Amino acid sequence: MRDGLLELLMNKNDFVSGQEIADTLGISRNAVWKAVESIRREGCEVEAVTGRGYRIVNTDGAFGENSIKSALTGKWLGSETVFFSEIDSTNDEVRRRAEKGAAEGLLIVADSQMSGKGRRGRKWQNPKGTNIAMSFLLKPGFSPDTAPMLTLIMAMAAADGISKVTGLDVGIKWPNDIVINGKKAVGILTEMIAEPDYIHYVIIGTGINVNTRSFPEEISSTATSLYLETGRTWPRALITGLTAGAFENYYDVFKKTGTLAGLVDDYNRMCVNAGKRVTVLDPKGKYEAEAAGINEKGELIVHKDDGETVNVYAGEVSVRGIYGYV
C-alpha cells in the first residue's frame, strides 16, 4: 500500500529523478508520472525538468485522496482511503462503512465537517480549506477497557506527524490533548461499538488545527493552530500521512501486549504534565498533586501532598496545570 511519493519529494527538498523515485517506491516510471499528475490535480505544485526529475515547489494547498495516499507510509492504515470535501462527521462515515463490513484500516479524511463531534457531546468546528478531519477504523482483539489507551497512542502519533512536518515542539496534555505553547491544537474522539467483553470496532477521529487563522472568542485563549504558531501554512496531506504512519508503528507495539508497556517512556517524554504540579478534578473533590507520568494502562500516576500515590483514570477525572489549562 505504501506510496510515500510526497514524503520522498518533501524529504529531498530538491530534484529527484524519475528513476530514483521509481526505484525507491518500487513502481514503474510510468506510475511515477501518473502519481505526480494525480497530486498536481489536487493543488500540489511539482516542477518537472527533463534530465533532473521532479521537485516539490509547494504542497500546502494540496489535500485530497491522491495527495494523502502519496503521503501514507505504513502498510495497512489507509489501505482504503476515502476523501470528502464536505461531510457530516468523519467518525460517522467510518461507522456507516464499518456497519457494512469495512476492513480495519479504513481511513476517512475530510476538508470540512458540517456536524463535527467533540468529546462529551460538544461540537468540533471544521471550516473549509484549513484543517484536517481524519478518522479510521480499528478492530483490536482486546477487551473494551483497552480502548482509552488507543486514544493516548493517537495523541503520540499526531504529535509525531506534526513535529516531523513543522519542527514545532509538540507536547501531550494527558490523556490526549496535543498542546503547543500551552494551547490545544488537536482533538481526538474515540468511539467504540462493543459488548461488555468484546470490541466490535473502534473509531479514532482526530481533528488537527493546521491552517486556522483565528478562533471564536470563547476558545481563543486555549486553542491554537500550526499556522498561528509559525506564521505560515502547512501541507495537510503530509501531516495526515505521517500521522497515520506513526499510529501504525505505535499500534504495532501496543498489540504485542494489549497495554502501553512498550510506549510508556515515549509517552512520558511527550507528556507536558509529567513532573509538574497538577490539579486533579476528581468528582469526589479536587486536589493538587505532582504528576509522575503514565503507567502501562495509560493512567496518570500522581503523588498527593499527603504522600499517597493515586493512579488517575482518564474517563473519571481530568487534570489541569495549577496555573491554567496545561
- Residue 191 in the binding site for ligand BTN (CB under 6 A): no
Dist CA 253 CA 246 (whole Å) = 11
**Read out DSSP for 3-22?**
--HHHHHHHH-S-B-HHHHH
Residue 187 C-beta: closest distance to ligand BTN, Å: 3
Which residue from 4, 171, 205, 245 is in contact with ligand BTN, where contact means CB under 6 A? 205
Amino acid present at 57? V
The maximal CA–CA distance of the chain, rounded, in angstroms, is 72
Q: Are 175 and 154 in contact (CB under 8 A)?
A: no
Give the separation between CA 238 and CA 75, rounded to whole angstroms.
Answer: 16
Beta bridge partners of 47: 55
Kindly tell me the burial class for residue 136, based on how many C-beta atoms sit within 10 Å of its own C-beta (0-12, 13-18, 19 or more).
buried
Question: For 291, phi and psi rounded to 5 degrees?
Answer: -85, 130
Among 113, 146, 151, 243, binds ligand BTN (CB under 6 A): 113
Q: Whose Cβ is closer to ligand BTN: residue 19's or residue 115's?
A: 115
- For ligand BTN, give the closer residue by CB, 35 or 150: 150
Instruction: Verify binding: residue 151, ligand BTN, rule CB under 6 A.
Output: no
| Cell of residue 244, nine digits | 497515520
Q: Contact between 136 and ligand BTN (CB under 6 A)?
A: no
Within residues 70-109, the interface with ligand BTN by CB under 6 A covers 89-91
Applying CB under 6 A, does 38 fall inside the site for ligand BTN? no
Q: For ligand BTN, which is the closer residue by CB, 71 or 203?
A: 203
Is residue 119 near ligand BTN by the rule CB under 6 A?
yes
Q: Which one of the spans 28-36, 72-80, 112-120, 268-276 is the region binding ligand BTN (CB under 6 A)?
A: 112-120
Q: Interface residues with ligand BTN (CB under 6 A)?
A: 89-91, 113, 116-119, 122, 124, 133, 135, 187-189, 205-207
